Amino acid sequence: MTDPSRSALDIASTPAGRHLVLVSNRIPLSFTEQDGHISAAPSSGGLVTALEPILREHGGVWIGSVEIEDSPGLRDELQAASSGAPFRYVPVSLTREEQAQYYEGFSNEVLWPLFHDLQSHCVFNPGYWDIYQRVNRKFADAVQAEAGVEDIVWVHDYQLLLAAQYVRERRPEAFLSFFLHIPFPSPDIFAKLPWRSKVLESLLAYDIIGVQTRRDERNLVNCIRSFAPDVKVTGRGERRTAITRQRSVSLAAIPISVDFDQFAEGAAEEVVAERAKQIRAENPGRHIALGVDRLDYTKGIPERLRALNALFSKHPEYRLRLTFIQVVVPSREGIDEYQELLAEIERLVSSINGAFAQAGWTPVLYIHRPLPREELLGLYRAAHVAVVTPLKDGMNLVAKEYCAAHVDNDGALILSEFAGAMPELRTGAIPVHPFDEMGIAEAIRYAIEMPAGERYRRMLKLRAQIRNADIRVWRDRVFSEMEQALSSRIAP
């Protein structure tokens, strides 16, 4: 059951009762077109998990790109998809060239690796930059068409860093808030971006810039001081203010989270509990370790698999005692580097299973597809250990989902020290360096051998932390920042 005290976290309305216009790279739907008929299905992802409950509660508009051309059929399907909900979807149609060069190109071959401190993966193609600007203008056009004078425009993530400046050209008075879901790089990394001044100038056209962690907030402040010396930064701690010639910009570190009650209640359902029992019955007497990741080189999946290989090689006593389940959700399939990563993961899985499998035991169970919610929750509940080892992450909601789903307060979380969730979950997680393969192997051993009492105490702390700082608390903090900014903003 939901704790009645949770209602104290709920607020009656958006800041100043204003209408929400949420803007993200994509509408949270996947589309298929066959024989002229368009159908839509809900898509998954951390951003969707975090934002959809807020829009369902408060209503508004969700602006995002779609993978197919705008048409009456698409509009009908979007209307059907939001039927009964207090919000509606507004599509931004992109050409194939725009999709390739804005999203797969600049967003994911320049910004994504750079902001994750993996600049060796960057492709600084000037053509990407040109299309990135063009697409951000398209989003600004959609905002202009949909947002009223009193609306709150809430833009999300690295694909839309320039949107505020283009909205300002049309609506200087607009109230614009931004939240970055990935890390913000340090000045020495950000300096490698040829268009750094333009990006920073455009970011400072927002009224609020929210980031995940204090680390990101410090990096943002240091980049402003390094590359925009005319901008004065005041304040300290989790909230700073950047004062430009046009406005005061609030800079706030607000860690995002999950809907704790939704995951806990879902995991407690009978069908999920039965599925968890079935998974354990399929692995009798064995510990189950779990990795759940979107296909990406920042998630540390090959490093994790090599750590597992080292564990079975150095400690043969864990063969037959441990089954590792690795879920890889397909992502960015149009980028060659991601296909190469997928091939490497599958080669490592095949190598481990070929070297160590015995009759009745497969060391690594590999799943390469999105999972239905009940199946994912069943895996979370069944797994004795979650291994979450990104090379760097803005937050990593899988770590929080796993703990929220462990309603029996059993289970262990192994967490990379470079995950954005680490500062919050440090007291209960087992910390590891994601490049230290033997360190990860030893952490898995430690988790398996951990006394039941310690495992219980750690999980109790983890679940209490996530419960007390869940998506509602994040929302309330964001809305509080908006309230303050609205009351104190300097008119353009």
- Active site (annotated) includes residue 181: yes
- Please give the structure tokens belonging to residue 59: 């209503």
* Residue of 58, 156, 181, 287 with catalytic role: 181
The answer to whether 319 and 308 have CB atoms below 8 angstroms apart is no
β partners of residue 211? 253
* Segment holding 465, helix H or strand E: helix 452-468
What is the β-pairing status of strands 385-388 and 60-66?
unpaired
User: Given the structure tokens 């890889």, which residue do they identify?
Assistant: 328
Q: Are 373 and 381 in contact (CB under 8 A)?
A: no
Q: Which of 157, 293, 393, 470 is catalytic?
A: 393
CB atoms within 10 A of CB 237: 9
Q: What does the alpha-carbon distance between residue 296 and residue 276 come to, in Å, rounded to a whole number?
A: 27
- Which residue shows structure tokens 């939704």? 262
Sequence-distant (6+) residues with CB within 8 A of 447 are 289, 384, 385, 412, 414, 430
Concatenating the DSSP letter of every residue in 298-356 gives GG-HHHHHHHHHHHHHH-GGGTTTEEEEEEEE---TTSHHHHHHHHHHHHHHHHHHHHH
Beta-strand ranges (E) seen in 52-147 are 60-66, 87-93
Q: How far is CA 10 from CA 23, 40, 200, in A?
A: 23, 31, 34
**CA pair distance 65, 131, nearest whole angstrom:** 14
Residue 116's identity, in one-letter code, is H
442 touches 414 (CB < 8 A): no
In angstroms, what CA-CA distances link 85 with 1, 59, 79, 302? 24, 8, 10, 41
**Half-sphere exposure at residue 10, Cβ-oriented, CA atoms within 13 angstroms:** 12
Beta bridge partners of 177: 154, 208
Strand partners, 30: 41
* Distance from C-alpha of 411 to C-alpha of 401, rounded to nearest angstrom: 13
- Going across the sheet that includes 287-294, the strands are 364-367, 322-329, 287-294, 385-388, 412-416, 430-432
58 is catalytic: no
* Residue 282 to residue 138: CA distance in whole angstroms: 51
Catalytic positions, please? 181, 393
